[in-house]
Amino acid sequence: EVQLFESGGDLVQPGGSVRLSCEAYGFTLNNFAMTWVRQAPGKGLEWVATIDSSGGSGTHYADSVKGRFTISRDGSKNMLYLYMNSLRVDDTAVYYCVRPRISNPHTRCFAPWGQGTLVIVSS
């Protein structure tokens, strides 16, 4: 069964850093472009970042996180990461790790989703 499990969410002060992790089960993470999506409390969904499959080298970021967040993967561990620096109060959200429905570079709809991990940025 294909599953994703996020971890690393925490209470962080503004300006701080945190690393989110996502462990993939049931598929080879390197074969898929992988994405982080976030949801602020009581709000809608916001795309954060995507890393191309290992055959490509591209990363894509929302303007709201560009220069502060870094998405990366470790294929040997089947893990996806999101390094979050210079955190702001408006980064407070549940962060979801998501995989495309199929392994196709142009497929950008997501199934499955992880359960999410909560990052709270507050002093």
Residues that bind other proteins (CB under 8 A): 35, 44-47, 50, 60, 62-63, 96, 101, 107-116
Report, in Å, the least distance between residue 101 CB and other proteins.
6
Closest CA to 121 of 94, 100, 97: 94
Nearer to other proteins, 14 or 58 (CB): 58
Nearer to other proteins, 74 or 101 (CB): 101
Structure tokens at 40: 């602020």
Cα within 13 Å of Cα(30), Cβ side:
7
Nearer to other proteins, 16 or 46 (CB): 46
On whether the CB atoms of residues 52 and 96 are closer than 8 A, the answer is: no
Report, in Å, the least distance between residue 122 CB and other proteins.
22
Report, in Å, the least distance between residue 123 CB and other proteins.
27
Residue 61: strand, helix, or coil: strand
**Count of positions (residues) in the chain:** 123
Report, in Å, the least distance between residue 5 CB and other proteins.
12
Nearer to other proteins, 16 or 60 (CB): 60
- Which residues partner with 11 through β-bridges? 120
Place of tokens 């080298």: 57
